[in-house]
Structure 1
Amino acid sequence: MPDYELVKSGTGGCAGCPSPMGLRIVGKALGPNSIMVMTPSCAVASIGVMPKSCYDVPVLNVCFASAGASAAGVSMSLDAQLKSGELTGEKPTVFTWVGDGGTYDIGFQGISAAAERNDDFIHFCYNNEAYSNTGVQRSGATPKYATTTTTPAGKSAQKKNVPLLMLEQRVAYVATASLAYPQDFYRKVMKAKSIKGFKYIELHAPCGPGWKFASSDTVTLGRLAVKSGAWLLWEGEHGKLTLNTPTKPLAEGKMPLTELEDYLKAQGRFSHVMKSPQKDAVIDEMKAEIRREMDFMLGREKL
């Protein structure tokens, strides 16, 4: 990867925070000729003290629901400036860096509309599966049975699958990624950069304070998620799906899955499950859901 660093010193993120880890890889792929749009999130809260910023590119901090519309406006403005000659050279890459709350819930309408219009920018969702910045409340991305401050007994509903929704919108490019597989993430960002139109990349982002694990274990949790099948790696172009390694061999039974219990017991947010008399039944239910999703994606890949 290139030496360029988008994230400079001065970030106020928690130790082990996945957001700057992911942004470092994004920066190396996109380079300094980029413009970042952000909504309220951990990444904004840790940006630094005004007038300084820990990010090396222009940043627009917009309201929670407007990531899609704002990024579309920036991209269209650049197109107009290039057409008029006011701006010369290569068009800067416009991208959003938004959490799951701003993607799955509050900002979904604008993001889906931008996808439908095929607006020319990359939307990144760094998915830490909760509203971690405001106190770890449940979001549409919070998995079933996980505790949050608004689901202290464990969430009762299954999480949404926004990457799959983007695939079914036939967007130019959609992918999932993990911090535990940085080369795969880098490749996907580079691919998104090369494609004109709307691109969506969702990064699984384990959060130490929200998930209750040691700050040194962020990447370990990400790897356990992928190897247990709790997080699937794949990409798609205009509705055509491709499963990536190691997800595909895991789904096909060519590689053994890591025990889901190893992933769950590494997080305090599932400690009530580990202590419950119904532990085995709950874990079996989770495994069945993973198997169902894997089988669905294997079938979807053939279409």
Structure 2
Amino acid sequence: MSATTVLDLRELRRRQPRFSGMDPGHRACQGCGQSLAAQLVTEAAGPDVVVANATGCLEVFSTPWPHTAWRIPWIHSLFENAAALAAGIETAFKQQGRPTKVLAFAGDGGTFDIGFQTLSGMIERGHNVLYVCFDNEAYMNTGVQRSSSTPHAAVTTTSPAGRMRPGKRHLKKDLLAIIAAHHLPYAATATVAYPGDIKAKVRRAMAIEGPTFLMIHAPCPLGWMHGPELTVKVARAGVETGLT
């Protein structure tokens, strides 16, 4: 009778081969929710993908010339046209008969505001692209300015709180409802508090033919003014309190 070897969970995880499209050692802030979300998305998506990445935090901290954290084909687009670039790549692959999947990455500024026109067009035309919005609820890369994703009463450098105003005066845009109005086959939300849920939704989206959309809530320690060790805890609190 052979001896039984018992391994703890940490050792099992160490021995299990796992693909990641994004290497550590990049220049993200400590506790960056967006870097965690991007790593989870690329793990679930696998190696046979191409990413069109809008200007923003993710692009800046992952590709300071001449370095890159990416292990998959990755293209930097303008702030406003990640969806258009992804649509062009997808069309070329379809013409060539290639099965490679196309992802578009952008923050809330590049999705809710600056890049919404190209996103709407990409979905309406039916391009087979998974668009991922990393939602940290402000323009964090340029100094924590409000976006239309910023919640009501939140404090940013362009919506300060004081005696005359509570912070941002307007409600957060209900982007998912607008996306759903395009009648695409799949749209979902997720949060870095639940990694398994992100991976499951990425795999489901990539198995669907046609445009798909995933919005991932990703706390930003710099903009939200919480400790870097609290990112996942803050994200989970958002779900449990109904704010996310």
Per the alignment, residue 125 of structure 1 pairs with: 133
AA in 2 matched with 1:108: F
2:36 is aligned with 1:21: yes
Which residue of 2 is the match for residue 218 of structure 1?
231
How far apart, CA to CA, are the structure 2 residues paired with 1:9 and 1:187?
A: 22
* Equivalent position amino acid for 1:102 in 2: G
Q: Which residue of 2 aligns with 1:208?
A: 221
Q: Give 2:108's aligned residue.
A: 100
Q: Deviations over 1:182-234 (max 9, x none)?
A: 11111100000100110000000110000100000000010000000001xxx
Q: CA deviation at 1:12?
A: 0.8
Q: What one-letter code is carried by the residue in structure 1 that aligns with 2:191?
A: S
CA distance in 2, matches of 1:14, 1:49: 14
> Partner of 2:143 in structure 1?
135
Secondary structure, in 3 states, of the residue corresponding to 1:176?
A: strand
The answer for unaligned runs of 5 or more in structure 1 is: 232-303
SS of 2:141 mapped into structure 1: helix
For the residue of structure 2 that corresponds to 1:134, the secondary structure is coil
Specify which of 137, 147, 154 is matched with residue 146 of structure 1: 154
Contact 1:118 1:172 in 2 (8 A): no
- Equivalent residue in structure 1 for 2:204, among 191, 194, 201: 191
> Partner amino acid for 1:211?
W
Q: CA deviation at 1:9?
A: 2.9
C-alpha deviation, 1:2, in angstroms: 6.1
Residue 6 of structure 1: SS of its match in structure 2? coil
Higher helix share: 1
**Deviation digits for residues 253-284 of structure 1, max 9, x if unmatched?**
xxxxxxxxxxxxxxxxxxxxxxxxxxxxxxxx
Does the alignment pair 1:174 with 2:182?
no
C-alpha distance in structure 2 between counterparts of 1:65 and 1:218, whole Å: 27
Question: How do 1:1-303 residues align onto structure 2 when only pairs under 5 Å count?
Answer: 3-82=18-97, 91-153=99-161, 154-231=167-244
Alpha-carbon distance, 1:26 to partner? 0.9
Contact 1:10–1:53 under 8 Å retained in 2: no
CA contact (8 A) 1:10 1:48 kept: no
Percent identical among aligned pairs is: 36
Distance 1:73 1:32 in 2: 20
Gaps of 5+ in 2: 1-15, 162-166
What's the TM-score, normalizing by structure 2? 0.89
Alpha-carbon RMSD: 1.2
For the residues of structure 2 that align with 1:228 and 1:49, how far apart are their CA atoms? 37
Q: Which has the higher contact order (CA 8 A, sep 6+)?
A: 2
- Displacement of 1:10 in angstroms is 2.9
> Offset at 1:48?
3.3
Q: Is the 8 A contact 2:187 2:214 kept in 1?
A: yes
Q: How many residues align?
A: 224
Match of 2:184, SS state, is coil
Distance 1:161 1:8, change over 3 A: same
- Equivalent-residue separation in structure 2 for 1:117 and 1:155 (angstroms): 34
The runs of at least 4 aligned residues of structure 1 exceeding 6 Å deviation read: none
> 1:39, 1:63 within 8 Å by CA — same for their partners in 2?
yes
- Following superposition, the deviation at residue 51 of structure 1 comes to 3.2
Three-state SS of the structure 2 residue aligned to 1:64 is coil
Residue identity opposite 2:175 in structure 1: V
8 Å Cα contact 1:102-1:108 kept in structure 2: yes
